[in-house]
Structure 1
Amino acid sequence: MPRKSLEVRREEILAETARQLQERGLAGIRALDVARALGVSTGLIFYHFDTMERLLAATFDHAAQRDLEQLQTVLDGPGDALGRLWAVLDLYAPTGSAAGWMLWIDGWSAALRDDQLRAVVRRLDRRWKRAIAALVQEAAAAGALGTEVDPAGAATRITALLDGLAVQRLVRGDALSAGRLRSWVRAYARAELGLAPG
C-alpha cells in the first residue's frame, strides 16, 4: 500500500481533530484518541504538529478557512449589497445542530489562555467584520440605507449581538429557536442601518 503524502496525512489529522473537537470539546480531546481513530501513532501526530496546542490552533485555522470560503462565495454571489448582507448574517448565525458554533465557543474560551488560538480567533473575527462593514458601505453608497451609518461600528455591534445570541441558543437549548434568532438579528440590523422594519 503506498504511503500517503504529507499534505494528505496532515489534512486527515486536521479533519479527525475537528470531528473529535465537535464531539468531545477541547477538554476531552487527546492526541492518542486522534491517532487511534486514524490508525497511526501519536508520534506521527506530533511529527506534523509539534505540540497539542499547535494541533488545536491548526485545526481551528483549518475550520476558519472553510468558513471564510463560504463567506467569500456569498460575497462574490449575485444580488445587491443589502441582499448579500442578509445572506452573510444568515451564514454567520448558528443553524441546525450548529456543530461549528460549538467548536468556536470552545475556541473562544481556550483562546483566553492560548496565544496561537487567540490569533486564529482574532483573524477570523476581523475578516467577518470587514466583510460586513464592506457590504454596509456598499449598500450606503448605493443609497439603500436610510441614515448615515458607521460601517465598522455597525459590523461590530451586529456581530456582537449574533455572538451573544448564538451562545444563548446553544447553551440554553431550545430557549431560542433559529427562526427567532434570525428575526431578532434582522430587526436589530435594520434599526442599526436606519432601515424601516419589515
Structure 2
Amino acid sequence: MAPHHPEDVGMTAAERPPSAAPAGSGRAPRRAVTAAARTRQPTEVRRRLIVEAAVPLIGERGYASVGVRDVAAAAGVSVGTVTYHFGSVQEILSEAMVLHIERYYTALSEAADRATSGAEALRLLVDALFTEDTDRHWRMWFDYWNAGEQGTDEAFARGQAHRYEAWHGQIRALAERAAADGRRAAVDLDGFTIRFAALADGLALQRLRQAPPLTMEAARRHLNHLIETELGPAPSA
C-alpha cells in the first residue's frame, strides 16, 4: 500500500484519498474527494499539538534524551507527521520553550503589573522563580542554553537572543520602577539587570545540582538581598 501523506495520518478510511477498487471486488470506484472537502487539521493545529506534547517530555527527561519517536508517541501521531512539520528535535525544543516561557511569564507579568510598587513586583518575580514547581522550568531553560551552544541553526539563535533580551527587559523595567518609587536617581539599571539575571541563573543551577545544597528559601533570600542592597525599600509616607 502506498504511504499516505503525513497530513492524512489519523483520518478515517472515508476521509483518505481514494484508491482504485481491487479487481473483481464488485464495487464501483469511489469518486475523488477534493482537498477542500477533506477533514484535516490545519498545519498550525498539528504543530501546536506536537509542541504541547513535547513540553512535559523535555521538562522531565531533558532535551538530549528526547527523540522524534518519543515526541510522536506522546502526541499520538506518526513519526512522519512530526518530521513533516519539524526539521529537527531542536526546532521542536525552540517552539516548546516559546510556549513554556509565554505561559510561565504571562501570569507573572500580570501579577507584577498589579503590584503596588516596583520593589514588590521584583519580589513577586523572585517568589515565582523559586517554588517547588519551578525545577522543570529551570531544566528546560538550561537545556535551551545548551542546545544553542551545540547547534548552528540561525533561526534558533535569533529566537534565543530575542528571549534573552525580553527577559532582561522585564527585569530592567521592574528595577526602573523600583528605583523611581525609592527616588533613587543614581541606580545602575543595566548593571543591576545583569547581576540579577546572573544570580538567578547561578542559584537555579546550584539548586538543581544541590552541590552545595541550596533551599528554595535561601535562593529567594539571596535575590531579595540584591534588590534591597541596590534598590532599597520604598520610602515611608
Give me the TM-score of the superposition, normalised by structure 2: 0.73
CA deviation after TM superposition for structure 1 residue 156, in Å:
1.1
Q: How many residue pairs were aligned?
A: 194
The match for 1:13 is 50
The match for 1:182 is 220
The match for 2:8 is none
> Unaligned 5+ residue runs, structure 2?
1-11, 13-38
Matching of residues 28-177 of structure 1 within 5 Å: 28-91=65-128, 93-97=129-133, 98-114=135-151, 115=153, 116-142=155-181, 144=182, 148-172=186-210, 175-177=213-215
The amino acid of 1:89's aligned partner reads V
SS of residue matched to 2:150: coil
Identity of aligned residues (%): 31
CA gap of 1:124–1:74, structure 2 versus 1, over 3 A, is farther
Give CA-to-partner distance per residue, 1:150-188, whole Å, 9 cap, x none: 112111111111110000001117811101111111012
SS of residue matched to 2:74: helix
> Unaligned 5+ residue runs, structure 1?
none
Give CA-to-partner distance per residue, 1:107-164, whole Å, 9 cap, x none: 112211224443333322221221221122222223x155621112111111111110
Contact 1:25–1:106 under 8 Å retained in 2: yes
Give CA-to-partner distance per residue, 1:64-116, whole Å, 9 cap, x none: 2223322431343241222112112322x232141111111111122112244
CA gap of 1:8–1:150, structure 2 versus 1, over 3 A, is same
Provide the alpha-carbon RMSD of the alignment.
2.3
Distance 1:4 1:173 in 2: 47
Contact 1:145–1:194 under 8 Å retained in 2: no
Distance 1:130 1:12 in 2: 30
Give me the TM-score of the superposition, normalised by structure 1: 0.86
Give CA-to-partner distance per residue, 1:24-61, whole Å, 9 cap, x none: 21111111111122221111112221333322222222
